[in-house]
């Protein structure tokens, strides 16, 4: 039985992954951690073990690993793209030094590690459409630099020390449950909230800018399925391209108008996040993930929009 420690568990991915993993592995077998407890996540914290952990403190992590008999770490503690450009020093420190601590702990205590990468590993020299699994990675952001370096570091620990490291390159993630935390693709979450609350949205990403996106239920499936995949079949451990849908702001607005006909999309482009978006792929080739561990998304744009608006309208108590 897995005994799992999730770092950064109160963030966008972690707060939903923790619930899903506790359903699969049992509440007592999934230990969640973050820099501090948050009142907004009180129910999650009270439903199973919670520990205060800073990934920069390897000794504290080791203490928790020993306390619960951890055999798997899901490392979600990270600074995202837009925030990383504002604080590149912090981005490097958390994303790289924190990961190094996790990998060293895994080496010493024979743990397996899942840590996500991102489409941010790609840059202006990368093919934009159907971006290959193996291609040029010359990112233009500190976040992207840390993710490329992180992939290489995880590969190194697998080949050098036999640490079972695995990861996926997440596109933009869309969720009705938890707001994102400073990424370039955040507009694709905010647009649904504003459509319901105000009937309009001002996008910080420009018209015609396509980016790969994924609905959170598919992202959670990807983590669980890759973690449980047959190790002997895995060639691209760190990390796999995974894809579900690719769209620009106009396309997501058109999908919303099928349910909210009067929805208005405006633009107030943020040059920093737009520059980041322009350096990323339009779409990814995820054939390696499909071949090596059976990756297959369940949600496309209209499916996601229908579910997002239904769930959010209940959450916000707004009738469509």
The residues annotated with a catalytic role in the active site are 143
Q: DSSP readout, 2-38?
A: --EEEETTTSHHHHHHHHHHHHHH-GGGEEEEESS--
Helix (H, G, I), strand (E, B) or coil at 50: strand
Token reading at 83: 């925030």
Contacts of 92 (CB under 8 A, 6+ apart): 142, 145, 146
Which 3 state secondary structure label does DSSP give 175? coil
193: Cβ contacts below 8 Å, ≥ 6 apart? 312, 316
**Strand positions, DSSP E, 35-124:** 50-52, 72-75, 112-114, 117-118
Q: What share of the chain is helix, strand, coil (3-state, %, to 5)?
A: 50, 15, 35
Q: Are 131 and 285 in contact (CB under 8 A)?
A: yes
281: Cβ contacts below 8 Å, ≥ 6 apart: 119, 122, 126, 127, 128, 129, 131, 211, 212
Other C-beta atoms closer than 10 Å to the C-beta of 235 total: 10
Residue 20, token pair as written in the block:
């899903």
CB-CB neighbours of 221 under 10 Å = 18
């Amino acid at each position: 039985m897995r005994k799992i420690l999730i770092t950064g568990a109160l963030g966008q991915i972690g707060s939903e992954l923790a619930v899903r993993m506790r359903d699969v592995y049992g509440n007592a077998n999934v230990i969640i951690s973050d820099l501090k407890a948050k009142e907004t996540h009180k129910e999650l914290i009270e439903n199973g073990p919670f520990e205060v952990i800073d990934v920069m403190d390897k000794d504290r992590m080791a203490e928790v690993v020993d306390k619960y008999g951890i055999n798997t770490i899901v490392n979600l503690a990270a600074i995202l793209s837009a925030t990383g450009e504002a604080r590149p020093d912090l981005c490097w420190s958390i994303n790289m030094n924190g990961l190094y601590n996790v990998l060293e702990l895994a080496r010493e205590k024979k743990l397996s590690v899942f840590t996500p990468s991102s489409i941010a590993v790609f840059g202006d020299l990368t093919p934009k459409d159907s971006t290959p699994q193996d291609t040029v990675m010359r990112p233009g952001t500190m976040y992207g630099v840390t993710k490329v370096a992180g992939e290489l570091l995880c590969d190194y620990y697998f080949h050098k020390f036999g640490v079972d490291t695995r990861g996926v390159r997440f596109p933009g993630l869309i969720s009705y449950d938890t707001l994102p935390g400073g990424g370039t693709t955040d507009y694709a979450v905010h647009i649904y909230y504003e459509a319901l609350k105000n009937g309009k949205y001002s996008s910080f990403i420009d018209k015609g800018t396509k980016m790969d996106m994924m609905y959170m239920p598919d992202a959670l499936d990807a983590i669980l399925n890759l973690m449980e995949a047959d190790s002997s079949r895995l060639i691209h451990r760190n990390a796999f391209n995974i894809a579900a849908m690719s769209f620009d702001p106009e396309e997501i607005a058109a999908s919303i108008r099928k349910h909210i006909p009067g929805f208005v999309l405006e633009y107030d482009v943020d040059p920093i996040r737009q520059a980041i978006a322009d350096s990323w792929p339009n779409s990814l080739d995820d054939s390696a993930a499909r071949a090596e561990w059976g990756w297959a998304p369940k949600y496309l744009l209209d499916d996601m929009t229908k579910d997002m608006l239904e769930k959010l309208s209940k959450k916000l108590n707004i009738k469509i």
